[in-house]
Structure 1
Amino acid sequence: MVKYSLDMAEKNHMRLLIATDAWHPQINGVVRSLEKMALHAAENGAETCFITPQDFASFPMPTYPEIRLSLTLPRMVGKIMERMAPTHVHIATEGPIGFAARRHCRARNIPFTTSYHTRFPEYVAARAPIPEEWTYRLIRRFHGSGLGMMVSTSSLARELAGRGFQRIMPWSRGVDTHLFRPRDTRLTLGTGPVFLTVSRLAVEKNIAAFLALDLPGTKVVVGDGPARRDLEARFPDTVFLGALSGEALAQVYASADVFVFPSLTDTFGIVMLEALASGLPIAAYPVTGPSDIVGDTGCGVLDWDLRLAALAALSISRDACRTAAEGYTWEASARQFFGNIREAHAAASAAVAA
């Protein structure tokens, strides 16, 4: 059996095992963020290895078949962890893999860090009659046994601290400004102005609030998910392009006029950074995520009247949006991520030595 200890965690070179229930073929901010951390690991004195749903048999999540839930047990995860011999462990999600990894770590006194990506209490409440506080109690216990919990924005940190979460660490995100950029040639997506959103099409994303707005021009939706068929039936005048990535996605961003972000529950919203890097102003509600990214930068309009915000955003300079996005890099995000892990372990070592 591999021997884990805080002494191992103090070694200069980090071999980080990341346990995550979110992985390919899913397309979301969790997967993208973890991939970017792996790409920038070496420059931060680290290497990464993953435990993902691809390591186990799985079944489709009820009401959301695009997400697959792993059929795993702590002993199965434990064997993989012992084989990979990490010096550090990071648990990214509160799913079957995350809970199994947490249980294995706690049973063997293995220190670990976590990150808070998704508002599961709100997502669960949107699908089942389960009070949010019940789920928050479970999630608070999950993260509370780690050395630290990373969150993406200051407003989310304040909110979770108010709910009793502790040892909160900041971990912002980045954007590929080479791929996502303003372009001279624009696709013909419909009559202008073009209002765009890029999202998983699920009830918690609140896409219908955008599509129901009385706006001139054309509404365009990029993404797929369990709500797509219903949204297509309810809003036949909307252009649905399905899931896109890479160059195809970047071209759509650069061909729109305003990016509308109707979510009330996202913890960050990497798509907003991609839009800004492409020169698109943001229209959104004044909630966590948009409030942190847009704030007083002048690169978007936040209002509880989303139609008013979308129309007002049309007058914002595309250059100002691009400038705002350039403040977010994946290099800086990775430095923060790996730095958080080292600091959390150092603090735990100091506490043990005291």
Structure 2
Amino acid sequence: MMRLLIATDAWHPQVNGVVRSLEHMAAEAPRFGAEVVFLTPERFRSVPMPSYPEIRLSLVGPGGMARALDEAGPSHVHIATEGPVGLAMRLACGQRGQAFTTSYHTRFPEYVAARTRIPEAWSYRALRRFHQGGKAMMVSTPSLERELAGWGFRNIMRWTRGVDTSLFRPRNERVLDAASPVFLYVGRVAVEKNLEAFLSLDLPGTKVVVGDGPARGWLEGKYPEARFLGTLVGEELARVYASSDVFVFPSLTDTFGIVLIEALASGLPVAAFPVTGPADVIGASGCGVLSEDLREAALAALAIPKDRCRAYGETFTWRESARQFFSNIEKAHAER
């Protein structure tokens, strides 16, 4: 049996696609002859990230990580993130001669460039060094694969994502006391999510934002007509999806967007910019409108049938995602 150690900086109390993906991989692991052990910031002393306290920065070096690696005794190692835990694990694997795989979830170069004057090329160079030491790097979409290959990344493998279609589904009740149509956003409330592109639109009905983050306070003050519900999970989140009419995804930097397929499974059409993530997920499905004019996309999406979106959302399963994930790890170790 494969005993897979996953080293990740993204973990509870964070609520994001990386955490959800890893949790579902662990749940599906026995079906693929695997056991998953996590190494997360919970294991080490950590400090809150400045301006983003829900993210913990672990204080761990390669020595402490090497001890953790020995204790876990894995047959395979997967490094999910490029933060302190991931970096320390990469160094420890290098010192021990332990093969590993990685995954690329987040566009750090764009996020860093949005907050600092550090050029994207510098960040991509550092990330390339990080990932190219592994047997393979997993990415979620064809567009992202092509883009990263253009930056010089190699040994790229595809790993799609899934959705819980029993939880995220169309429902008869509407729990939101809000004027229709309801245009919904779910995700982090941070500068890199380009939320103002949504909140500034002249749209009928109500704009609803689910999520939290460092930009929430000033966005609430600037756009008082929008409804900010904070972080919701499980049934609460699923009911809000099902009570909305269009899912608006203004991000220009997401690598996939699990919230897109949660919305689709809930019967919501998508309005987004024609960029990596939405372009790959929506494709030629007819379940969304992708346009440089986000207002035009949001209004046009109102005409898309909910049953079409639901049927397409049902094609994304966590079991298929897990099959790809564990197959990639086995192939990477066997072939490369």
Give the TM-score, by structure 2 length: 0.99
The aligned residue for residue 30 of structure 1 is 18
The aligned residue for residue 92 of structure 2 is 104
The aligned residue for residue 74 of structure 1 is 62
1:187, distance to aligned residue in structure 2 (A)? 1.5
* Equivalent runs, 1:85-96 vs 2, <5 Å: 85-96=73-84
The aligned residue for residue 182 of structure 1 is 170
1:60, distance to aligned residue in structure 2 (A)? 1.3
SS in 2 for 1:40: helix
1:57, distance to aligned residue in structure 2 (A)? 1.0
Give the TM-score, by structure 1 length: 0.94
SS in 2 for 1:36: helix
- 1:154 partner amino acid: P
The aligned residue for residue 33 of structure 2 is 45
The aligned residue for residue 8 of structure 1 is none
Whether the 8 Å CA contact 1:189–1:255 is kept in 2: the answer is no
1:208, distance to aligned residue in structure 2 (A)? 1.0
- Tell me which of 221, 226, 233 is aligned to 1:233: 221
* Equivalent runs, 1:123-272 vs 2, <5 Å: 123-272=111-260
1:331, distance to aligned residue in structure 2 (A)? 0.3
Post-superposition CA distance 1:41-78 (Å, at most 9, x none): 00000000011000011111122222110011111111
- 2:137 partner amino acid: M
Moved more, 54-63 or 327-336: 54-63
The aligned residue for residue 352 of structure 1 is none
- Tell me which of 29, 50, 61 is aligned to 1:62: 50
Q: How many angstroms apart in 2 are the aligned matches of 1:63 and 1:168?
A: 33
The aligned residue for residue 277 of structure 1 is 265
1:16, distance to aligned residue in structure 2 (A)? 0.1
The aligned residue for residue 344 of structure 1 is 332
- 2:333 partner amino acid: H
Q: How many angstroms apart in 2 are the aligned matches of 1:149 and 1:56?
A: 26
Q: How many angstroms apart in 2 are the aligned matches of 1:96 and 1:187?
A: 41
SS in 1 for 2:248: strand
1:188, distance to aligned residue in structure 2 (A)? 2.9
The aligned residue for residue 291 of structure 1 is 279
The aligned residue for residue 14 of structure 1 is 2
- Tell me which of 294, 298, 314 is aligned to 2:302: 314
Whether the 8 Å CA contact 2:176–2:240 is kept in 1: the answer is no
- 2:119 partner amino acid: P
Detail structure 1 runs of 4+ shifted over 3 Å in the superposition: none
Q: How many angstroms apart in 2 are the aligned matches of 1:145 and 1:307?
A: 43
Rate the CA distance shift 1:160–1:189 in 2: closer, same or farther, 3 A: farther
> Over the residues paired in the alignment, what is the CA RMSD in angstroms?
0.6
The aligned residue for residue 109 of structure 2 is 121
Post-superposition CA distance 1:248-291 (Å, at most 9, x none): 00000000000000000000000010000000000000000100
Q: How many angstroms apart in 2 are the aligned matches of 1:105 and 1:51?
A: 14
Post-superposition CA distance 1:77-121 (Å, at most 9, x none): 110110110000000000001010000111111100000000000
1:323 aligns with 2:329: no
Structure 2 unaligned residues grouped into runs of 5+: none
SS in 2 for 1:178: coil
- 1:99 partner amino acid: L
Whether the 8 Å CA contact 1:20–1:91 is kept in 2: the answer is yes
Q: How many angstroms apart in 2 are the aligned matches of 1:132 and 1:188?
A: 41
Structure 1 unaligned residues grouped into runs of 5+: 1-12, 349-354
- 1:70 partner amino acid: S
- 1:298 partner amino acid: G
Paired residues in the alignment total: 336
Whether the 8 Å CA contact 1:174–1:329 is kept in 2: the answer is yes
Q: How many angstroms apart in 2 are the aligned matches of 1:334 and 1:230?
A: 39
Q: How many angstroms apart in 2 are the aligned matches of 1:99 and 1:67?
A: 16
Whether the 8 Å CA contact 2:162–2:318 is kept in 1: the answer is yes
Post-superposition CA distance 1:110-147 (Å, at most 9, x none): 10000000000011111111111101000001000100
Q: How many angstroms apart in 2 are the aligned matches of 1:93 and 1:153?
A: 17
Post-superposition CA distance 1:275-320 (Å, at most 9, x none): 0000000000000010001111000000000000000000000000
